[in-house]
A and B are shown apart, each in its own frame.
Chain A
């Protein structure tokens, strides 16, 4: 990696993750300390690396320096926080255990999520702020998840901080009675965090399982906590667990992304599927039909099907119709069109596809339908465009392979 790219990527990527990891350990109310500490670590890196060369593990180096700086800052403020090496390991693995709950949120990360989803912020701002400060997504990743532009997201973050500041809001763990009104923002943030892990918005890897594992864990904690439990939280936990079950087959052993029909379903995680169905059953209790219920139902229809041919695509189209009525988006339109193509044939699928010139998945689907209709030249054009726009290396490899097969 060139020096230029290394410095840029550290300044951009590592800082978000580090701030989030530190903030989780330090607890609500100390995000500012986490940000200061990481900023300090970055400046240390920038001023010492030219002399010493870049360390073997730049991200771990930054984590240690940031942690030490945070300890100094805390000592300076004469605060008592247990922040030893055990509590904040250098390698930032997500903790594996489930949280245990009373009416207060005893899971630090969940508490922090609720803390930053403050009602002084608009729902959009809450989700953006939570993804950045707690989930550790970068600005471009958030922009991709929220179908927005990085500059708009960056501005939104600045506004969110200003609003919290001018409202004199302290970021602290909210009391139990404040949890329900914030829960929907927390669910949305967890869903988007999961998505980034399931389908990365850029880079070498298509999946980043650590985001998914963490999102599933937190969604389950949410569904088990007495105040935040309920059909919507169970539906989210079901959705994430059922979808996470397919993680092992998203990319083949050769590093190429695999289409749903090519995934060996025997490798799907049975434990996660069982867990998903347990939550799905519990989610059926309420009156309200939420977007989480609809998405979870779609995931469950895939999970029970022995193959793509034997999947209940008509039912999936129906559910997408309901989802589109509740929460219209180009992403839902695309998924619905793919289901229509399966249920009614490629011509119907083609007609249902949205116009989205910059979206690689729309081009890939169009290419697929055109190929099935025998319109090879047009299919190649769209697959080539999908290849050009593909977000990650495994997806590029998949498009290149399909293009090669089609033009041979």
Chain B
């Protein structure tokens, strides 16, 4: 089994002003999807990321420098992530295709990143 991270990409603030009914509907779909995976043991965890408070730390002239994160013109932000467990890339893709994130907005997309399993490297290193 391999763990995969699903990064949920979206336009900034796309759901900021959703009416409550729509919000309830969204949540039900999300929870149904996540709970289904939890029951199968395929859900490792996840977090919703806050919209504001983003800071970037970059090295400038050899020193770490902080600046405010996504600029106003940013077209794409990560709204949250899930870590799932799947037997192979095909299964991870099947799970990601069902993620309600995709159905909520035409600009939403999901990035699948296999999590590097370091156990073989560690074993080799003895």
Contacts and interface: CB of A to CB of B under 8 A. Distances in A.
Contacts of B38: 53
- In terms of DSSP, what is the predominant structure of the interface of chain B? helix
Nearest to B27: A46
B23 interface: yes
Interface residues of B, number: 19
A332 B39 CA distance: 51
Interface stretch (B28-36, B58-66, B87-95, B113-121): B28-36
A50 interface: yes
A169 interface: no
Interface residues of A, number: 16
A158 interface: no
Interface string A1-16: 0011011100100000
Contacts of A50: 27, 30-31, 33-34, 46, 48
Contacts of A4: 28, 32
Most buried by A among B28, B33, B45, B80: B28
A79 interface: no
Contacts of A46: 23-24, 26-27
Interface in B1-48: 20, 23-24, 26-28, 30-35, 38, 45-48
Contacts of B35: 3, 53
B31 A7 contact: yes
A266 interface: no
B15 to A, nearest CB: 8
A377 interface: no
Nearest to A5: B28
A49 B48 CA distance: 9
Contacts, number: 47
A52 interface: yes
A47 B82 CA distance: 14
A159 B121 CA distance: 68
Contacts of B47: 51-52
A81 B15 CA distance: 34
Contacts of A6: 31
Interface in A3-38: 3-4, 6-8, 11
A47 B30 CA distance: 9
12 contacts: A4-B28, A7-B27, A8-B24, A46-B27, A47-B23, A47-B48, A50-B30, A50-B34, A51-B82, A52-B48, A53-B34, A54-B31
Interface of B: 20, 23-24, 26-28, 30-35, 38, 45-48, 80, 82
The 6 closest A-B pairs by CB, nearest first: A50-B30, A51-B46, A46-B27, A3-B31, A51-B48, A50-B31
